[in-house]
Amino acid sequence: MAGLHFGMIQLGVNIDHITTLRQARYRGQGNRLAEPSPLFAAHEAQLGGADGITVHLREDRRHMQDADVEALCSQVGVKMNLEMAATDEMVSIARRLTPDTAMLVPEGREELTTEGGLDVQGQESRLMDVVSRLHDAGLVVSAFVDADPAQIGACARVGFDVCEVHTGPYAHAFAEAGGDFRRSALRAELDRVAEAGGLIRDAEMRFNAGHALNYANVQPIASLAGIEELHIGHSIVSRSLYTGLRDAVAQMKRLMLESTHH
| Residues tagged active-site | 56, 83, 211
Which residues lie closer than 8 Å to 31 by C-beta, 6 or more apart?
none
Which residues lie closer than 8 Å to 91 by C-beta, 6 or more apart?
84, 130, 133, 134
Which residues lie closer than 8 Å to 136 by C-beta, 6 or more apart?
95
Classified as helix, coil or strand, 166 is strand
Rg over CA atoms, the chain: 17
* CA distances, 127 to each of 15, 88, 118, 124 (Å): 26, 11, 11, 5
* CA distances, 53 to each of 10, 14, 98, 165, 184 (Å): 11, 6, 14, 18, 34
* Nearest of 174, 193, 192, 170 to residue 183 by alpha carbon: 174
Sign of CA dihedral 256, 220, 176, 120: positive
Packing angle of the helix pair 184-202, 168-177 (nearest 10 deg): 160
The amino acid occupying position 230 is: L
The amino acid occupying position 65 is: Q
Classified as helix, coil or strand, 100 is coil
